[in-house]
Chain A
Amino acid sequence: MLALENLSMRFGGLQALDRVSFEVREGEIVGLIGPNGAGKTTVFNLISRFYEPTGGRISFYGENLLRLRPYQIVERGIVRTFQLLGLFPYMTVLENLMIGEHRDFGGSLLSVALGLPRARREEHDRRAQALWLLRFLKMEALADAFVFALPYGTQKLIELMRALLARPRLLLLDEPVAGMNAAEKAAMREFIRRINHDWGITVLLVEHDMSFVMGLCDRIVVLNYGRVIAQGRPEEIQQNAEVIEAYLGEGVGSARA
């Protein structure tokens, strides 16, 4: 569904990405890994259209994504989360979730201002949908809490819920378990599996936690210094000499879990 072909990105003298090519197929969970500075988040920022690549193309179901503006990406069904949280700190949990539903709001400015029935119904339905998801995850008590007051792991989960409310076909997760403890990581892994399996959402994720990636992903793409040095199933990646060297004893082998 998503294809990157010879994607290159240059920041001044730094070649952040060098002819990166890989595909994400429908229904997969794909992990994008690599040492710090390998260019993983740059890949996300290119797919989100925050950066203009210096070369190559990105297509989604055959459509050239490079023709779109960042806010149009979500309409195609690609939704992302952010490494350092993209939540709005001065909004409540419920309000944050309703931003995830933004693309489903269509009432005109005038109908909103006048409080016309259509605008009211829209607001009511979207609120109900967001509350449903909160209840589904047994988090309804948090609906009116301000986001900045919540634990980091909870914030990560809320950001993921918000992304789900945007009805993604492809979900891009930037370090979904960074800063989480073991129990939170296990819960997150289970949640991503369910999203993928039960709801049919394809996932591309960047993560440093090797055992998390190896235990969750169907396929892994390894970046090093802006190049793809390996891709394949977790078992294959763990055996790959070049990958082990790139991590220099960071313990891809020992992370077999």
Chain B
Amino acid sequence: MPRQIWLALIALALVVLPFGLKGYTIYIVSLAGANILAAVGLNLLMGYAGQVSIGQAAFLAIGGYTSALLMTKLGLAFWLAFPLAGVLTGLTGLILFIPALRLGTIYLAIATLGFGAAVQQLIPLPYWSAILGGHQGIKVPRPQIGSFVFDTDLELYYLTLAIVGVLLVLSWNVARSYVGRAFIALRDKPAAAEALGINPTRYKAYAFLVSAFLTGIAGALQAHLVGHISPGEFGLGKSIEIFAMVILGGIGSLPGSVLGAVFLTFLPHWLSEAKLLYTFFYGAALVLVIIFMPYGVWGFFLRLYYRFPMMQKLFPKGA
């Protein structure tokens, strides 16, 4: 079957999906949508452009707080505040781009770690607690377009579906364009890339801009879904979770990031019975994937695809 049909089927399945689900599960699916954007944002930065970041939670926080404050303090409408939060977060991504120009992979990872920690520590400081709400955080208004308020889990789900769908298309466009190719070229052979006219400064800036934008949108979406935002959500643990989503799904593969994000969003809920063992299972899942699927879940599917002719009949190549 050609790709268009598959995409249409997936879209249809996602539209009817909530009708078999409980309200709470629908809510978790929506949160998975936010995580998808964060994972795709990190994958473009890390998998494509080769810039490792373990401070992505900072961009989630910036996006979430910005969208909330633009609505509550400046009185902007949701449809304006929400994308603007993404753009402003994208610009803060350029803060990390500056050390990235000089630092090698592992040092950049440490710099981003520091950035993540700094943002989380800065938010609850007393100087601006009147605005940012200190450790307790602030309430985030429900999304509203015109007079329509997205209030129920179902309404929020469809809003999330639309936002995530549009941004996945945009991310896919970038990844498949000359910009995405320039990212990979600079990652694999910087000298050859530069000799062919790829300006490393410009494309590193693009990578951080795009990544921080998507993560900012993810943070804003999450904040509006939850209805509340506080600094406690954005620690190192969250950054590592996003990192793990990318690794699990397959580094350098956008469909992989979608799978990784969905899986790691649901894992804690599946394991909630095993409260104390949760971290154990979480760690075990990661280790197993790294051992048995070195190219991530998506890479694993691709290998099955090439091994079994039946798969190739079902999903023809290039479709």
Interface residues of A (CB under 8 A from B): 48, 50, 69-75, 79-80, 82, 86-91, 95, 98-100, 102-103, 105, 107, 109, 112-115, 119, 122-123, 126, 144, 162, 166
A91 touching B174 in the complex, CB below 8 Å, given contacts A71-B200, A79-B196, A82-B192: no
What are the residues of chain B within 8 A of A162 when measuring CB–CB? 196
Contact A123-B178, Cβ < 8 Å, known A88-B188, A89-B188, A114-B170: yes
Q: Please judge, given known A-B contacts A71-B200, A102-B178, A112-B179, whether A88 and B194 are in contact too, CB under 8 Å.
A: no
Q: Is B196 a contact of A166 with CB atoms below 8 Å?
A: yes
| Contact partners of B210 in chain A: CB under 8 A | 109, 113
Which B residues are within 8 Å of any A CB, using their own CB? Answer: 169-171, 173-174, 177-179, 181-182, 184-185, 188-189, 191-200, 206, 209-210, 252, 318
A75 touches B197 (CB 8 A): yes
CA distance A113 to B174 in the complex (A): 5
Other-chain contact of B181, A69, A98, A109, A115 (Cβ < 8 Å): A98
With A and B bound together, what is the CA distance between A90 and B295 in angstroms? 13
5 shortest interchain CB distances as A-B pairs: A86-B192, A74-B197, A105-B178, A103-B197, A70-B194
Task: Please give the distance in Å from B166's CB to the nearest CB on chain A.
Answer: 10
CB of B176 to closest CB in A, whole Å: 8
Contact A102–B189 (Cβ < 8 Å): no
Q: How far is the CA of A204 from the CA of B163 in the complex (A)?
A: 53
Cβ-neighbour of B197 out of A95, A107, A115, A166 (below 8 A): A166
Would you call B199 and A71 a contact (CB within 8 A)? yes
Q: A73-B195, A86-B189 are in contact. Are A98 and B184 (CB under 8 A)?
A: no
A-chain residues with CB within 8 Å of residue B181 when the two chains form the complex: 91, 95, 98-99, 102
Asked if A109 and B174 make an inter-chain contact with CB atoms under 8 angstroms apart, the answer reads yes
For residue B113, give the distance in angstroms from its CB to the closest CB of chain A: 27
Given contacts A102-B182, A112-B173, contact A86 B206 (CB under 8 A): no
Cα–Cα, bound, A105→B199 (Å): 13
Flag if B178 contacts A112 (CB, 8 Å).
Answer: yes
Tell me which residues across on chain A come within 8 A of B199, comparing CB atoms: 69, 71
**CA of A82 to CA of B188 in the docked complex: distance in angstroms?**
14
CB-based contact B174/A100 at 8 Å: no
Alpha-carbon distance A87/B185, docked complex (angstroms): 9
B185:A99 contact, CB within 8 angstroms:
yes
- Beyond the given pairs A69-B199, A88-B189, A102-B196, 20 more chain A to chain B contacts, judged by CB atoms under 8 angstroms and listed by A's residue number, are A71-B197, A74-B197, A82-B192, A87-B189, A88-B185, A91-B184, A91-B185, A98-B178, A98-B181, A99-B182, A102-B181, A102-B198, A103-B197, A109-B209, A109-B210, A112-B178, A123-B177, A123-B178, A126-B178, A166-B196
Which residues of chain B have C-beta atoms less than 8 A from A72's C-beta? 197
Asked if B191 and A50 make an inter-chain contact with CB atoms under 8 angstroms apart, the answer reads yes
Q: Does A113 lie within 8 Å of B173, measured CB to CB? A: yes
Asked if residues A90 and B173 are in contact (CB atoms below 8 Å), the reply is no
Please give, as numbers and ranges, the residues of chain B lying within 8 Å of A112 by CB-CB distance: 173-174, 177-179
Residue of B173, B181, B196, B210 with most partner-chain A CB within 10 A: B196
**With a CB–CB cut-off of 8 A, which chain A residues contact B209?**
109
A71 touching B177 by the CB < 8 A rule? no
Tell which of B171, B194, B252 has the most Cβ of chain A within 10 Å. Answer: B194
Closest to B167 in A: A113
Are A86 and B179 interface neighbours, CB within 8 A? no
* B195 contacts A70, C-beta separation under 8 Å: yes
In the complex, are the beta carbons of B179 and A109 less than 8 A apart? Answer: yes
Q: Chain A contacts of B185 at CB under 8 A?
A: 88, 91, 99
Cβ-defined partner of B192 (8 Å) among A69, A87, A98, A119:
A87
How distant is the Cα of A82 from the Cα of B174 in the complex, in angstroms?
28
Complex partner residue of A88 from B177, B184, B197, CB under 8 angstroms = B184
Nearest-Cβ distance from residue A147 to partner chain B, whole angstroms: 10
A123-B177 Cα distance, complex, nearest whole Å: 7
- Could you say which residues of chain B place their CB within 8 Å of the CB of A74? 195-197
Contact (Cβ within 8 A) A114 B178: no
Chain A residues with Cβ below 8 Å from B194 are 70-71
